[in-house]
Amino acid sequence: MSVRIAPSLLAADLGQLREQVQGALAGGAEWLHVDVMDGRFVPTLSFGAPLIRALRKITDAPLDVHLMVVEPERYLAEYADLGVQVFTFHPEATVHVQRHLAAVRERGMLAGLALNPSSPLALVEEVVDDLDLLLIMSVNPGYGGQKYLGSATAKIARARALLDRHRSAAALEVDGGITAETIVSAWRAGADTFVAGTSVFGAPDVAGAVRDLVRRCVERA
């Protein structure tokens, strides 16, 4: 199983955005993770179209956008036009989840659903075949720099089993508290894509931090 790192721009120094993005990509990061928060679904505000436009001037690397917003469908057309590759939202944040997943795909993006620590896998069971990505939150969303919740590991394993039962090729992503110490447990449980913020952009060597995360998994294969 491959290891994909998606560094979270929430932890980046925006004053050195170009340098930090280039460092992450040089280290082997395959996606760049962008958190969009509206102050309603989660208590904080962050990012949005202006950052995505800025990133598109720096790189054509795939953008993995996680919308922690109410009515994420309102963002769909704009983000597709901006060149977003992965559009992930929370099932509790909208109605007609399957319709919106289909609309994401129709716009040429990968469709993802995210589950908070208290959100059951049952919320995605009926739409597994419509997913290109399933994101398991290993912290409560809204703030960066939180510690990995140990209970997430068993949930990741159950999510992997769910995807495998459906013979789904969807990516299984984990977001929250991913460090060189926690990534191995999540990877062994079946995750293949990892959002890492502080452990990447807070490191003196951004490229080296990305390489180390991959190495920790590969060495324990």
Cα–Cα dist 186/180, whole Å: 11
- Contacts of 11 by beta carbon, 8 Å cutoff, 6+ apart: 144, 145, 197, 198, 200, 201, 202
Tokens encoding 35: 């958190």
Unique residue bearing structure tokens 């050195």: 16
Q: Residue 172 — φ and ψ, nearest 5°?
A: -115, 105
Q: For the residues of 114-171, what is the DSSP string, one character each? A: EE-TTS-THHHHTTGGG-SEEEEESS-TT-SSPPPPTTHHHHHHHHHHHHHHTT---E
Cα–Cα dist 118/193, whole Å: 21
Q: How many alpha carbons lie under 13 Å from residue 106 in its C-beta half-sphere?
A: 9
Q: Under the phi-then-psi rule, with left for phi > 0, alpha for psi from -120 to 50, and beta for the rest, what region is 66?
A: beta
Catalytic residue among 38, 130, 132, 175: 175
Q: Is 175 a catalytic residue?
A: yes
Cα–Cα dist 63/66, whole Å: 10
Catalytic residue among 13, 35, 129, 130: 35
- Which sequence positions are flagged as catalytic? 35, 175
